[in-house]
Structure 1
Amino acid sequence: MSADSKKLQLLFGVLVSILALWFSFRNANPALLVHLLWKGHYGWVLPILIFMNLSFLVRAFFWRTTLSVTKRVSPAHLYGSILVGYMGNNILPFRGGEVVRLMYTRKLEKIGSAVLLSTIFLERFFDVLLLTLVLLLFFFLHGSSGIGKKAIVLGISTTIVFFALVLVARYRTALIRFLKKRAGFDTTTVGGKIAATGEKLLHGLSILASPQKMAILFFLSFTVWGCTLFGCYFYLRIFDLDMHPVMMSLSLLLFTNLALVIPSSPGGIGVVQFATLYAMRLFGVRDEEALALSVVYQVVPFIFTTTLGWYFIHRQHMSLFDRKSSDTDEVPDFRAGQKNASPNQPKER
């Protein structure tokens, strides 16, 4: 992607954030907003941080499970990688933290980019599955039949994609053989390189071929979102907004995560405020209370993930914007049953 395209994307994201901030704060009383922020019960930040940290730990075990088809990886290393990724999302536009996370883990564990990419995709797809379930649950409990029908369509579509991925994982050997046959088994050609990359990508998805491992992934994903839901409840407690604790927590969780899909400035500034405002208006919450909630809801994880992310990335003597070292790392071969190549072994020409 050219530098001009990146600048245009960044400009578009900033404009989206500015518009979202204007729509969110245009009718708010600044003095009341400051008063509410000052009077918040910030002791509830402690359980928020506990559940947030727990969700990242469980994500590390989720990622470790998907990577187990390649090698055993330390959950502590993956925990650091996840925080580095969130730090990148806070700073870079368009969820650029996923790229930073991939590069960081590639250098740390000497795992190929294709395998890392497919396992990160798998984690995010499970997030979509669970978020769809939250969407269905919310509209079922809320009784919004019109929007609920759209949620059902989304749920069916997501389920179809999931089973398609399972089939691809089950029959990946035949698919790889077909790709190699079409490429003539020559890895020097463009078709051969595509087939080799496809083999590594499919290898990263192969965890779906095991029903037992898939059950573990669902359990871990449920745990992640359960911790996030509890965190939403404690955010509400900061401003005494727990009149309907379950529904309000579900609403906050659902709409803020959906808002982050919108391309905006780094950290989702503006769209998070707009989403929180919408989520709380469903329960008659004043705009100033909802906006105070949105500020804390965004600032607490920003500080936590950015601080720890910088710690982990500097502990490995890496730079957030230095791609040179990662690009020169050798990518080992991850064919089934083959051991990893040594990271210090020179490439043969």
Structure 2
Amino acid sequence: MRQKALSITFQIVILAACFFYLSIGINWPDLGRTFALYSWFKIIGVLAVTIPIYALMGIRLQQLTHGGVSTPTGIRGSLLAIGINNILPARLGEVAKAIYFKQKTVLGFSQSMGIIFLERFLDINILAVTGLITAMVFGLGLYGLPLTAAVLICWGLLVIMIRRMPVEGVELTFIPSDKLRYFIKKSSIAIGHTLKGNTILKPFLSTVFIWACSFLYLALIPLWLMDLHLTAAQILAIYAAVYLGLTIPGLPGGIGMTEGAIVAILSWNNIPKTEALAIALTIRAFNFLPPTLLGLSVFMTSGMSLQSLKPQTEDPF
């Protein structure tokens, strides 16, 4: 209980520090005029670019599960996860997604979590490359190396696991909890089934296309919607700040920290702070409002409840 209280206090302090940093040195009337000049046509155009991103997420899930999750169900599950993660802490969206797939597909909770782990792992591969490129472009030295090293180590462990894992899955007898052992066993089977042979290649290509579309989507916001003249390096900085910030657990959707990172790195690149904050808040609006509303609509029509996202006394697997 004390550890949880300390964690919450730390998050509140970080959030307060980010909001304080974002609030100083801002020309608020100019910020308001920037938002007032947005074209509804361009807003709809930017939103349209997100459609292939969600479609590719569904396709990737269909590929990872060999058809166990259909593309439409994968899209709905992905929107559900994004929506929940935007409003609740601790990445509860991933849990909601697994529960949703348990309800709507032949997959169990543990199998779904195994597939979701592979989703996130493929995403982290792209984030590692993004971190390395960003570090090289901005002369940040070894900034991107730790994440890349962690990804390579994970690939090595996965290869070892697949080669040595029995058909019935990984059995960790030293774990005292029967539920946790069962969860690991079923998750490992799902991961092993997906990674065998060349079946990971298609999901990996889908992941590359997802992040390429995400880069285009983020670039359109300052360059087209806001009609700003940013360099490719500055767009890359925004991209890295947005998505690397989302990998940090704790605050829902990386709120505060993501905006702080965008403003800090753009200010460092000689972008006026008011302009940088306008970019950060506009990206937040696009990343929060549409997917959260769609995700909550999936949640409300799924028969799930907030209680189902909490630790359960019955076997959820």
Unaligned runs of 5+ in 2: none
Q: 2: distance between equivalents of 1:242 and 1:279?
A: 16
| Structure 2 length-normalised TM | 0.87
The yes-or-no answer on 1:226 pairing with 2:224 is no
Residue in structure 1 matching 2:123, options 123, 127, 133: 127
Deviation at 1:36, TM superposition (A): 1.7
Residue in structure 2 matching 1:91, options 87, 95, 99: 87
The yes-or-no answer on 1:291 pairing with 2:287 is no
Deviation at 1:52, TM superposition (A): 1.8
Q: 2: distance between equivalents of 1:88 and 1:138?
A: 29
Instruction: State the partner residue of 1:309.
Output: 295
Residue in structure 1 matching 2:203, options 211, 214, 217: 217
Q: 1: distance between equivalents of 2:252 and 2:179?
A: 34
CA contact (8 A) 2:46 2:220 kept: yes
CA contact (8 A) 1:169 1:208 kept: no
Q: Secondary structure in 2 aligned to 1:317?
A: coil
CA contact (8 A) 2:266 2:276 kept: yes
Q: 2: distance between equivalents of 1:259 and 1:195?
A: 32
Q: 2: distance between equivalents of 1:219 and 1:154?
A: 21
Instruction: State the partner residue of 1:260.
Output: 246
Q: 1: distance between equivalents of 2:287 and 2:138?
A: 31
Instruction: State the partner residue of 1:346.
Output: none
Residue in structure 2 matching 1:31, options 29, 32, 35: 29
Which deviates more, 17-26 or 110-119?
110-119
The yes-or-no answer on 1:251 pairing with 2:211 is no
Which deviates more, 197-206 or 293-302?
197-206
Q: 1: distance between equivalents of 2:106 and 2:4?
A: 29
The yes-or-no answer on 1:157 pairing with 2:157 is no
Deviation at 1:263, TM superposition (A): 4.5
Residue in structure 1 matching 2:161, options 159, 165, 168: 168
The yes-or-no answer on 1:319 pairing with 2:317 is no
Deviation at 1:264, TM superposition (A): 4.8
Identity of aligned residues (%): 21
Deviations 1:228-272 (A, max 9, x none): 00011111122223431x322221110122223344543332112
Q: Which amino acid aligns with 2:34?
A: L
Instruction: State the partner residue of 2:57.
Output: 59
Deviation at 1:8, TM superposition (A): 5.2
> Which has the greater radius of gyration?
1
| Structure 1 length-normalised TM | 0.80
Change (3 A) 1:84 1:153: closer
CA contact (8 A) 1:242 1:248 kept: no
Residue in structure 1 matching 2:108, options 103, 106, 112: 112
Which deviates more, 278-287 or 83-92?
278-287
Q: Which amino acid aligns with 1:172?
A: M
The yes-or-no answer on 1:239 pairing with 2:226 is yes
Deviation at 1:286, TM superposition (A): 0.7
Deviation at 1:63, TM superposition (A): 1.8
Residue in structure 2 matching 1:202, options 188, 200, 211: 188
**Two-structure CA RMSD over aligned residues (Å):** 2.9
Deviation at 1:122, TM superposition (A): 1.1
Which deviates more, 40-49 or 110-119?
40-49
Q: Secondary structure in 1 aligned to 2:143?
A: helix
Change (3 A) 1:7 1:192: closer
